[in-house]
Structure formats: C-alpha cells, structure tokens
Amino acid sequence: MSGKSGPVKIIIAGGGTGGHVFPALALADEFLRCSEGNEVLFVGSERGLEAKIMPERGYNLRTISIAGVKGKGLFGSLRGLARIPRSMVQSWLIIREFRPGLVLGVGGYASGPVVMAAHLMGIKTAIAEQNAAPGLANNILGRFANRIFVSFEETKDWFPIRRVIHTGNPVRYGFVTSAAGEKRDEKLFTILVFGGSQGASGINRLVLEAVPHLLDLKGCLRIIHQTGEAEGGKVAEFYKESGINAEVHSFIDDMPGAYGLADLLVCRAGATSIAEITAAGKAAILIPYPHAAGDHQVLNARVLVNRGAAEMIEEKNCTGEVLSSRLRDLYGNPEKLRDMEKASKALGNPDAAGKIVDYCLELAEKVR
C-alpha cells in the first residue's frame, strides 16, 4: 500500500447501472480496508442502481438532480442538459460540506458534475473507465482529471498518456477467490446465464430457444439462470416443462458463489462482467447488448475473443440453434474449455482495486 499516513476522505461519484456501481463498491471496500479512519461518500442519482445498493451495503449516499444526455433523443438530451447547472451547484454544496481529499468518478452521467465541480474547486480528481472505449462523461473528464485508470490496455489511446494508468477493472473480493473455492459438480455441466444486474430479455429468449436442441443432454446439464424481475416465472415454468435441471433467480445475491459452480458462462459483455469473468478465470459465450453506446460491449468482448478466453455471438446473428451448437461444442470439448479458462485467468486483474486505491491515496489530501 501507499506510504501515505493519516485518514483520507473521498467521494466516489457515478453509477446508474451495475457496470458502474459494483466497481465503485469494490473500490470503497478497499479504501476502508486499507486504512483505519478513511471515509467514503457516494454521490449518484436517485434513479440509478446505487440508490438501492449503496444504503443496503451500509454506505452513505447523496444524490444530485442529473439525467443522461447521450442516446436520449432531442427532447431527452435537452432535459438532461438543462439539469447540469443545478447538478453542479448541488455537487459544489456536497463537496464543500464533506471536504474530501479526492473525488473519484466511476462513470455514468452522475459522475460528470461532481468531478467537474471538484476540479473547479481545486480538489484532486481521478476517473476509472471500465470499457474498452470510454463513455461520454469520461471522455470529457479525461481532459483534466489528475489520474485516469483504464481496464483495458487498448483504452490508453483515448486519454493523455502521461495521466493514464492501466490497472484493470476493480471487482468485488469474492470473485478473486471464487476460482480457488470452486464447487463444480463433476457429474454435471453447469451453465451460468445472466444479463447483468437487471437481467436481459434477449439472452433469456435465446437460451430458452436453445434448450429444445439440448434435451438429449439434460441428464448431464444444470443451468443457473438470473433472469431479472420481469421474466423469472416464465423462465422457471419453461425449464420445468422441459425437464431441465435449472435454478432460476430474478437476482443472484451471491454471484461469486454462482461463478464457483459454473463450467461456462452465457452473458452480456459489460465491462464489469468482463472483469469478473477474468478475475475468476472463467470461459464464456458473450452475447453483447446490441444497443450499448458506441457498441462498447462488442469492443469489450473482442478483447477476450482475440486472446482465446471467450467466444462471441452478436445478437443479430444468434438463434437458439446457433447458441445450442456452441454450448454442445464446449460441453464435448473439455480441453478447449480449459484452454479458455487459462486465457481468461491470464487477462484478469484481481488486484485492480488495490492498485487504484494506492494511486488515489498518493494523490489525496489528508483529512483536515
């Protein structure tokens, strides 16, 4: 750890989706773990996932009035732009009250006003970019942030090289230890299916379309499926009628434990999922979300595919028959699966949170 002594107060700003919230949680846990007396305050939006997750995990959360701009249509973008002045004032008031030594933006539209306000107030700032190509907020904030942490080596080219550091994407500690604590059943080939913290209707549909092509293997298969709130009942009923050994959850609280049971993952290619997959050293079939901004999930997936750690099927090219063929191939080829796991593990950055915290503590001002 950094040699800097004394407690530090930091603000972690951003959120919206699990792809921003869960890395933020990993960083907050590490800040508190590394030095007694450190304080963390989250700043986000009341509509984001952080509004639910942060208080549940015991963290203080303040919210600002902000909304997305990119991809919202003309009127949605105008509404988002109109909220920026108010959100800047709110951010200034929160920062003045909390007096942090550092403000760290983790992406998402809520990070923009907070990091910008901190910069204008003369407070040290840093940002963490999870995706292979940066989002709008980090594209702007990267022009002045004191440190820029990236998850992929390829992302360095988007930012000023002297301030950018390749650390990997921080993951919750459980994913780092999930491979060591694996509880895979040698008699069953276990497929873990999920679409991010909100589930994914497209993945649910494709997996259910694939199942009828795999019924001859049902005595050897187990499926653990996170569906999201809306489709859990329908998916569970389908598996029951098909006779497939399946566990259906609207949301999996212990996702590291589910990883430990899995032989193969079928999931989206969000940056947090990519980081968790590689930290745990898992093989995956990635089906990128087709409407992701800047097609960043395809770019994320290609990083793993190019290194032999995963396979990718773009949703526009995917059918139940195509997916079942890939599943059958990997089920019948354990050597290929092991090679994918090794390649995945080699890409992992299990100490990413620790690296980012070290750099932030070097930057931060001590509590006054």
Is the CB of residue 263 less than 8 Å from the CB of residue 11? no
Q: What class, spelled out in words, does domain 9-170+350-363 have in CATH? A: alpha beta
What 3-state class would DSSP assign to 253? coil
Predicted pLDDT at 366:
58
Residue 204 has pLDDT above 60, yes or no: yes
- C-alpha 358, offset from chain centre: 21
Strands 125-129 and 147-150: parallel
Domain edges within the chain:
9-170+350-363, 175-347
Predicted pLDDT at 79:
61
Q: Pick the range with the lowest mean pLDDT from 4-8, 42-46, 62-66, 243-247.
A: 4-8
Residue 68 has pLDDT above 70, yes or no: no
Containing 255, the helix (H) or strand (E) segment is helix 255-261
Half-sphere exposure of 154 toward its Cβ, with a 13 Å CA cutoff? 14
DSSP states of 143-209: TT-SEEEESSGGGGGGS-GGGEEE------HHHHHHTTT----TTSEEEEE--STT--HHHHHHHHH
Tell me which amino acid residue 66 is: I
Binning pLDDT at 50, 70 and 90, where does residue 47 land? Answer: confident
Predicted pLDDT at 15:
80
Residue 280 has pLDDT above 50, yes or no: yes
Binning pLDDT at 50, 70 and 90, where does residue 178 land? Answer: low
Both tokens assigned to 20: 């921003």
Using a 10 angstrom Cβ sphere, with 0-12 exposed, 13-18 middle and 19 or more buried, the burial of residue 257 is middle
| End-to-end CA separation in angstroms for the chain | 21
Please give the mean pLDDT across all residues of the chain.
Answer: 88
Residue 327's nearest CA partner among 268, 273, 266, 271 is 266
Is the CB of residue 304 less than 8 Å from the CB of residue 52? no
Establish whether domains 9-170+350-363 and 175-347 are of one fold. Answer: yes
* Higher pLDDT among residues 136 and 306, named by residue: 306
Measured at the CA of 253, the angle between CA 166 and CA 211, to 5 degrees, comes to 95
For 94-107, what is the mean pLDDT? Answer: 95
Measured at the CA of 151, the angle between CA 98 and CA 153, to 5 degrees, comes to 135
Predicted pLDDT at 121:
96
For 288-303, what is the mean pLDDT? Answer: 87
Predicted pLDDT at 3:
45
Rounded Cα gap, residues 266 and 313, in angstroms = 10
Rounded Cα gap, residues 284 and 299, in angstroms = 15
Alpha carbon distances (Å) from 252 to 20, 221, 249:
18, 20, 6
Predicted pLDDT at 296:
84
How is residue 131 annotated by DSSP?
S
Containing 238, the helix (H) or strand (E) segment is helix 232-242
Predicted pLDDT at 72:
55
pLDDT above 70 coverage of the chain, percent: 91
* Higher pLDDT among residues 295 and 334, named by residue: 334
For 258-262, what is the mean pLDDT? Answer: 93
Predicted pLDDT at 175:
83
Predicted pLDDT at 78:
55
DSSP states of 265-313: EEE---HHHHHHHHHHT--EEE---TT-GGGHHHHHHHHHHTTTSEEE-
Both tokens assigned to 87: 């959100």
Predicted pLDDT at 367:
53
Rounded Cα gap, residues 40 and 32, in angstroms = 8
Both tokens assigned to 15: 């959120």
Q: What class, spelled out in words, does domain 175-347 have in CATH? A: alpha beta
Q: Which residue has the tokens 């526009």?
A: 316
For 166-184, what is the mean pLDDT? Answer: 77
pLDDT above 90 coverage of the chain, percent: 62
* Higher pLDDT among residues 211 and 7, named by residue: 211
For 261-283, what is the mean pLDDT? Answer: 93
Predicted pLDDT at 149:
96
Is the CB of residue 163 less than 8 Å from the CB of residue 148? yes
Max CA-CA distance within the chain? 67
* Higher pLDDT among residues 257 and 67, named by residue: 257
